[in-house]
Amino acid sequence: MNREITVNVCMGTGGIAAGGEQVMKALKQEFEAAGIKNAKIMENCKLHKVGCRGFCARDVLVDVTIDGETSTYQYIEEKMVKRLVQDHVVGGKPITEWLVGDDYHTFHEKQTKIVLHDLGKIDPESIDEYLGVDGYKAAQKVVAEMTPEEVIKTIKDSGLRGRGGGGFPAGVKWAFCAANESDQRYIICNADEGDPGAFMDRSVIEGNPHAVIEGMIIGAYAIGSSLGYVYIRAEYPLAVDRLHTALNAARERGYLGEKLFGTDFNFDIKVKLGAGAFVCGEETALIASIEGERGMPRAKPPFPANKGLWGKPTIINNVETFANVPPIINKGADWFASIGSEKSKGTKVIALTGKIRNTGLIEIPMGMTLKEIIYDIGGGIEGDKLFKAVQTGGPSGGCIPQQYIDLPVHYEGLQSVGSMMGSGGMVVLDETDCMVAIAKFFLTFTQEESCGKCVPCRIGTKRLLEILTRITEGEGRKGDIELLQQLAEDVRDSSLCGLGMSAPNPVISTIKYFRHEYEAHINQKKCPSKTCNKLLTFFIREHQCVGCGMCIRACAVNAITGEKKQPHHIDQDKCIKCGSCFDACKFNAVLKE
Amino acid sequence: MEKQMEEVLESIYQKSVAHGDNIITVLQNMQNELGYIQEEAVYWYSKRANIPASQFYGVATFYSQFHLNPRGKNIITVCSGTVCHVKGAQRIVSKLKEELKLKDKEQTTKDMNFTLENVNCVGACSIAPVVIVNEKVFGKQSPDKMVKNIKPYKE
Amino acid sequence: MITLTIDNKTVEVVKGSTVLEAAKKLKIDIPTLCYDSRMKPHGACRLCIVEIEGMRRPVTSCTTPAEQGMAVTTTSAHLERLRKTTVELLLSDHPNDCMVCIRAGSCTLQELAYKYGIRENRFGGAMRDHNRVDENPFIMREQNKCVLCGLCVRVCEEVQGVSAIGYAGRGFEAKICSPFEHDLNCEFCGQCVSVCPTGALSAKMWAGHPRHEGVELTETTCTYCGCGCNITLHSLGNEITRVSSRTDNHNRGWLCVKGRFGYEFINSEDRLTTPLIRREKGGALEPASWEEAISLVVDKFSAIKEKHGADALGGLASARCTNEENYMFQKLFRSAIGTNNVDHCARY
Q: Is B20 annotated as a binding residue?
A: no
The continuous run of DSSP H or E covering A187 comes out as strand A186-191
The continuous run of DSSP H or E covering A9 comes out as strand A5-10
Mind telling me how many Å the CA of A427 is from chain B's nearest CA?
7
Q: Do C171 and A454 make contact, defined as CB atoms within 8 angstroms?
A: no
According to the model, what pLDDT value does residue A35 have? 75
Mind telling me how many Å the CA of C60 is from chain A's nearest CA?
8
The DSSP result for C205-223, as a single string, is GGTTS-SSTT-EEEEEE--
**What 8-state DSSP symbol labels residue A476?**
-
Question: Is the Cβ–Cβ distance between A408 and A341 less than 8 Å?
Answer: yes
β partners of residue B131: B78, B138
Does residue C169 sit at the B interface (CB-CB below 8 Å)? yes
The better pLDDT of the pair A300, A316 is held by: A316
pLDDT in tens, A206-221: 999 999 999 999 999 9
Q: Do C179 and B42 make contact, defined as CB atoms within 8 angstroms?
A: yes
Domains in chain A, start-ordered, CATH in brackets? 5-100 (3.40.30.10), 127-337 (3.40.50.11540), 347-430 (3.10.20.600), 435-524 (1.20.1440.230), 537-592 (3.30.70.20)
Helical H runs in A159-236? 170-178, 200-207, 209-223
* 3-state SS assignment for residue C273: coil
Q: What percent of chain A has pLDDT over 90?
A: 61
- What single-letter amino acid sits at A251? R
Mind telling me how many Å the CA of B2 is from chain A's nearest CA?
28
pLDDT in tens, C238-282: 899 999 999 999 999 999 999 999 999 888 889 898 999 999 999
pTM of the model: 0.89
Q: Do A456 and C86 make contact, defined as CB atoms within 8 angstroms?
A: yes
The better pLDDT of the pair A196, C238 is held by: C238
User: A–B: how many Cβ contacts below 8 A?
Assistant: 141
Question: Is the Cβ–Cβ distance between B23 and B55 less than 8 Å?
Answer: yes
Spatial CB neighbours of C27, under 8 Å, sequence gap ≥ 6: none
Q: Is B79 annotated as a binding residue?
A: yes
pLDDT in tens, A392-410: 988 889 999 999 999 999 9
Closest Cα to residue A267, out of A333, A207, A222? A222
Mind telling me how many Å the CA of B47 is from chain C's nearest CA?
13
- Residue A302: is it exposed, middle or buried by C-beta count within 10 angstroms (0-12/13-18/19+)? middle
Whether the per-residue pLDDT at A191 is higher than 50: the answer is yes
pLDDT in tens, A482-527: 999 999 999 999 999 999 999 999 999 999 999 999 999 999 999 9
SS (H, E, C) A373-427: HHHHHCCCECCCCCEEEEEECHHHCEEEEHHHCCCECCHHHHHHCCCCCCCCEEE
Please provide the size of chain B in residues: 155
Question: Is the Cβ–Cβ distance between C229 and C249 less than 8 Å?
Answer: yes
According to the model, what pLDDT value does residue A555 have? 83
Question: Is the Cβ–Cβ distance between A394 and A195 less than 8 Å?
Answer: yes
Please provide the size of chain A in residues: 593
Lowest-confidence segment of A149-153, A165-169, A226-230, C294-298 by average pLDDT: A165-169
pLDDT in tens, A74-113: 888 888 988 988 888 888 888 888 888 877 777 888 899 9
Determine the Cα–Cα distance for residues A105 and B68; give it in Å rounded to an integer. 50
Does residue B82 sit at the A interface (CB-CB below 8 Å)? yes
Determine the Cα–Cα distance for residues C94 and A150; give it in Å rounded to an integer. 57
- Residue B140: is it exposed, middle or buried by C-beta count within 10 angstroms (0-12/13-18/19+)? middle
Q: Do B24 and A56 make contact, defined as CB atoms within 8 angstroms?
A: no
Determine the Cα–Cα distance for residues C231 and C223; give it in Å rounded to an integer. 10
The DSSP result for C10-60, as a single string, is EEEE-TT-BHHHHHHHTT-----SS--TTS-----S--SEEEETT-SS-EE
Q: Do C173 and A452 make contact, defined as CB atoms within 8 angstroms?
A: yes
Whether the per-residue pLDDT at A40 is higher than 50: the answer is no
SS (H, E, C) B90-132: HHHHHHHHHHHCCCCCCCECCCCCEEEEEECCCCCHHHCCCEE
pLDDT in tens, A113-128: 999 999 888 889 999 9
> Mean pLDDT over residues A316-332, rounded?
96
**What 8-state DSSP symbol labels residue A216?**
H
**What number of CA atoms fall less than 13 Å from residue A433's CA on the CB side?**
31
Q: Which residues of A touch C127 (CB under 8 A)?
A: none
The continuous run of DSSP H or E covering A540 comes out as strand A538-540
**What's the pLDDT band for A39 if we cut at 50, 70, 90?**
very low
Determine the Cα–Cα distance for residues A127 and A208; give it in Å rounded to an integer. 10
For the beta carbon of residue C95, count every other beta carbon within 10 angstroms: 15
Q: What are phi and psi of C52, to 5 degrees?
A: -125, 130
Determine the Cα–Cα distance for residues A337 and C163; give it in Å rounded to an integer. 52
Q: Do C169 and B62 make contact, defined as CB atoms within 8 angstroms?
A: yes
According to the model, what pLDDT value does residue B103 have? 85
Ranges of beta strands (E only) in chain B are 74-79, 114-119, 131-133, 136-138
**What number of CA atoms fall less than 13 Å from residue A451's CA on the CB side?**
30
Q: What are phi and psi of A365, to 5 degrees?
A: -70, 140
Closest Cα to residue A143, out of A244, A39, A260, A42? A260
- Give me the residue from A197, A234, A237 closest to B125, CB to CB: A197
Mind telling me how many Å the CA of C125 is from chain B's nearest CA?
20
Q: Do B42 and C167 make contact, defined as CB atoms within 8 angstroms?
A: no
Low-confidence ranges of chain C (pLDDT < 70): none
Q: Do A275 and B64 make contact, defined as CB atoms within 8 angstroms?
A: yes
Does residue C123 sit at the B interface (CB-CB below 8 Å)? no
Q: Which residues of C touch B46 (CB under 8 A)?
A: 179
Q: Is B84 annotated as a binding residue?
A: yes
- Give me the residue from B42, B57, B68 closest to C166, CB to CB: B57
Does residue C153 sit at the A interface (CB-CB below 8 Å)? no
According to the model, what pLDDT value does residue C64 have? 95
How far is residue A397 from each of residues A197, A411, A424, measured CA to CA in Å? 12, 12, 10
Whether the per-residue pLDDT at A4 is higher than 80: the answer is no
Question: Is the Cβ–Cβ distance between A148 and A156 less than 8 Å?
Answer: no
Determine the Cα–Cα distance for residues C44 and C48; give it in Å rounded to an integer. 10
According to the model, what pLDDT value does residue A257 have? 95
Question: Is the Cβ–Cβ distance between A580 and A554 less than 8 Å?
Answer: yes
Q: Nearest-CA residue of chain A relative to B130?
A: A17
For the beta carbon of residue A185, count every other beta carbon within 10 angstroms: 22
Does residue A490 sit at the C interface (CB-CB below 8 Å)? yes
Whether the per-residue pLDDT at A227 is higher than 50: the answer is yes
Q: Which residues of B touch A236 (CB under 8 A)?
A: 122-123
Does residue A299 sit at the C interface (CB-CB below 8 Å)? yes
- Give me the residue from A451, A462, A493 closest to C57, CB to CB: A493
Closest Cα to residue A211, out of A57, A301, A330, A376? A330
Helix, strand, coil percentages for chain C (3-state, nearest 5): 30, 20, 50
Domains in chain C, start-ordered, CATH in brackets? 2-75 (3.10.20.740), 88-124+131-206 (3.30.70.20), 216-267 (2.20.25.90), 309-348 (no CATH)
Q: Which residues of A touch C82 (CB under 8 A)?
A: 456, 490, 493-494
* 3-state SS assignment for residue A277: coil
According to the model, what pLDDT value does residue C69 have? 96
Q: Is B118 annotated as a binding residue?
A: no
Q: Is the peptide bond preceding residue A365 cis, with omega within 30 degrees of 0?
A: no
- Residue A64: is it exposed, middle or buried by C-beta count within 10 angstroms (0-12/13-18/19+)? buried
Q: Nearest-CA residue of chain C relative to A453?
A: C44
Q: Do C169 and B54 make contact, defined as CB atoms within 8 angstroms?
A: no
Query: pLDDT averaged over consecutive 10-residue blocks of chain B (155 residues)?
Result: 89 92 94 93 96 96 92 89 80 88 86 88 78 86 88 85
Does residue C184 sit at the B interface (CB-CB below 8 Å)? no
Cα dihedral sign, C288-C293-C295-C299: positive
**CATH T-level fold of B74-154:** Glutaredoxin (3.40.30)
Closest Cα to residue C267, out of C309, C230, C239, C299? C239
The better pLDDT of the pair B105, A42 is held by: B105
β partners of residue C317: C344
Task: Indicate left, alpha or beta for A320 from its phi (over 0: left) and psi (-120 to 50: alpha).
Answer: alpha
Cα dihedral sign, B36-B40-B46-B47: negative
Does residue A284 sit at the C interface (CB-CB below 8 Å)? no
Cα dihedral sign, A567-A568-A573-A578: negative
Whether the per-residue pLDDT at A179 is higher than 80: the answer is yes
Spatial CB neighbours of A362, under 8 Å, sequence gap ≥ 6: A54, A107, A111, A116, A349, A350, A352, A373, A377
Put simply, the chain C residues between 87 and 116 with a CB less than 8 A from any chain A CB are 89-90, 92-93
Lowest-confidence segment of A47-61, A453-467, B14-28 by average pLDDT: A47-61
